[in-house]
């Protein structure tokens, strides 16, 4: 399984999409208790469950990690782990996965210049205040501690999103091959 981690607008979502469309990876679908938004599909965007169901899954130790955020639970279920899956997580999710005993989980920290990240956030409609909040949060969260948990750092500087995805794909396949 490929885990993508990095600061806001570092390209995680687009790299994940490239891996799914070009190489047949499946998107790791997380579980939540929040209501679906318009256009979201159960089992594709999220696994939507009730609070009671989520709490039973916690009790049954079905999650690698979970959190309560903005009035809803979110979690990553163990049953979704597969060698042909890609998952985007935050700092805490990365640590939980790296501490798990599941084999073939490789993480990639996407590094992108701040100016490029700001431009991406502006292009997707983030406000100046939101952008500044994200930058401050990322400076705090993505420090040297993260680096001890990632398998590879990928610097996007002179690569397109597609080239980053290709690099990660080849590196991941090489890591799996070398484990045999």
Give all strands of the β-sheet with 152-155 in edge-to-edge order: 26-27, 85-88, 2-5, 106-111, 152-155
The secondary structure of residue 42, as a DSSP letter, is B
| Cα–Cα distance, 6 to 107 (Å, whole number) | 10
Instruction: Return per-residue pLDDT of the chain as tens, 180 residues.
Output: 999 998 888 889 899 999 999 999 999 999 999 999 888 999 988 999 999 999 999 999 999 989 887 789 999 999 999 899 999 887 778 888 888 888 889 999 998 888 999 999 999 888 999 899 888 888 777 766 667 788 888 888 788 999 999 999 999 999 999 887
């Amino acid at each position: 399984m490929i885990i993508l981690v990095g600061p806001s607008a570092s390209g995680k979502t687009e790299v994940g999409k490239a891996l799914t469309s070009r190489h047949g990876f499946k998107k790791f679908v997380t579980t939540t208790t929040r209501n679906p938004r318009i256009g979201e599909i159960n089992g594709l965007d999220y696994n939507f469950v009730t609070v009671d169901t989520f709490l039973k899954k916690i009790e049954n130790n079905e999650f690698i990690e979970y959190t309560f955020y903005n009035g809803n639970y979110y979690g990553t279920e163990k049953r979704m782990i597969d060698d042909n899956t890609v998952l985007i997580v935050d700092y805490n999710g990365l640590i939980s996965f790296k501490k798990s005993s599941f084999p073939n989980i490789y993480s990639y920290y996407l590094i992108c210049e701040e100016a490029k990240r700001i431009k991406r956030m502006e292009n997707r409609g983030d406000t100046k205040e939101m952008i500044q909040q994200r930058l401050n949060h990322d400076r705090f969260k993505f420090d040297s501690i993260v680096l001890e948990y990632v398998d590879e750092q990928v610097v996007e500087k002179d690569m397109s999103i597609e080239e980053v995805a290709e690099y990660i794909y080849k590196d991941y396949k090489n890591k799996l091959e070398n484990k045999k």
